[in-house]
Every structure is written in C-alpha cells, then in structure tokens.
Amino acid sequence: MERPNEAKDMEVTDDADVLMARVRRQDADAFEALYDAYHRVVFGVALRILGDRSAAEDVTQTVFLKVWNTPNLFRGGNFAAWIVRVTRNRALDVVRGRNVRPEAELPESLPEDESMEEAAFARLDAERVRSALAALPPEQREPIELGFFGGVTHQEIARRSQTPLGTVKTRIRSGLRRLRSALDEAVTV
C-alpha cells in the first residue's frame, strides 16, 4: 500500500539519482521504485493537460518507457522537475496531434548549472507547491497555469483573458518570481 506523499517524497527525491544510476544499468527494481514514486505526478500532469484518463495513461506509459529506454536524457538535478517537463512536452505533443518530437527539440536535459539550481527543490512536495500556487493572485496564477498546462502562447493567454499582451507577460514574471520566493522559503525552513 502506498504511503502519504510527504514522507515518501522526502525519501525518494534523495534517492532519484541513485535509482536512475541503477536504471541506466537496466535494473528493473530501481525502475519500479521510480515508478512508485513519480507515477502520480506524471499522470497528474498528463491528465491536467489532456483531460482524459486513457490518454493520460498512454502518456504516463510513454514517459516511463522513455525513462527506461533513454535514461541518459536525465543529467542529474531535480528528477521531479525533469520528468514533469518530459511529461508536459509529451502531453502537449498529443494535444497538438504530433506523434514524434525530434530529439533536437527536447529541452528536458538542462545544463549542469541549471540542474544544480533545480536540485535545491528536491524536497518540495506537491502540497507545498499547490499552496504556493494558490497563494498567488488569480491574475498571476491563471496565466501561469494556462501557459504551463494549456501549452498556449502568451498571445493566446492575452486573447483568452482579454488582457494586453504586455500585462500578461508582466503578470507571468511577477507570479513566477513570487512562486520562486515562496518555494525558496519552503526549502530553507
């Protein structure tokens, strides 16, 4: 039976690098441990983007098979953030009706310095991120969520919200900055 998120996340994020090292050696048990730890966030992101359980399960399967087949795409850092990016890209590909994303377009593999930056958030759990996001003013939270989960451009966000483009961009930046500050505090607490 699965354990509550927080306790589990605290352990698995520490272990993700170790587990991925074992996955690179084709260790199925290590892969299973990664699946147990991250399948809910992968499925959650896919479901939020696609709005369809079956399609979200397909994306979840695709993402985890990608982890298994090409583990070197993960170059360290925050595994959760990495797998979220992979999932978002794959789900948006499905939304756009694209079957294949050329490898050259993959933004998932970060330069080492950015990976180090993200590693600072390794101990954050979903609930804490949700709280930080919920604390943002709606005019900042909504374009961020629409941009991330909707996969639409800032112009589309401006059109849908009937807000000037410059205002949308400024709100996204302000919101991300506030989110970052809130998460910084959560990390240092």
Among the residue ranges 14-22, 50-58, 94-102, the one whose residues contact other proteins (CB under 8 A): 50-58
Task: Choose the binding region for other proteins from 14-22, 94-102, 114-122 (rule: CB under 8 A).
Answer: 114-122
Please name the amino acid found at residue 14.
D
Neighbours of 58 (CB within 10 A): 16
| Tokens standing for residue 5 | 């998120």
Q: How far is the CB of 173 from other proteins (least distance, A)?
A: 3
What is the C-alpha to C-alpha distance for residues 103 and 95, in angstroms, rounded to an integer? 18
Strand ranges, E, within 9-128: none
Per the structure block, which two tokens stand in for 97?
């009706």
Q: Is residue 48 close enough to count as binding other proteins by CB under 8 A?
A: yes
Stretch that binds other proteins, among 14-22, 94-102, 154-162 (CB under 8 A): 154-162
Q: Is 85 in the site for other proteins (CB under 8 A)?
A: yes
User: 123 — phi, psi (to 5°)?
Assistant: -95, 5
CA distance 134 to 114: 26
Q: From CA 181, how far away is CA 183, in angstroms rounded?
A: 5
**71 secondary structure, DSSP code:** G
Rg (CA), the chain: 17
Question: Least CB distance from residue 114 to other proteins, whole Å?
Answer: 5
73 binds other proteins (CB under 8 A): no
Stretch that binds other proteins, among 14-22, 93-101, 126-134 (CB under 8 A): 126-134
Least Å distance, CB 153 to other proteins, is 5
For other proteins, the binding residues in 169-188 under the rule CB under 8 A are: 169-170, 172-173, 176-177, 179-180, 183
Angstrom distance (rounded) from CA 110 to CA 104 = 13
Closest-CA residue to 29 (of 15, 43, 42, 41) = 15
Note whether 76 binds other proteins by CB under 8 A. Answer: no
Q: Which residues bind other proteins (CB under 8 A)?
A: 2-5, 26, 28, 31-32, 35-36, 39-41, 43-45, 47-48, 53, 56-57, 60-61, 64-65, 68, 78, 80-82, 84-85, 87-88, 107, 113-114, 117-118, 120-121, 124-126, 129-130, 133, 144-145, 147-149, 151-155, 157, 166, 169-170, 172-173, 176-177, 179-180, 183
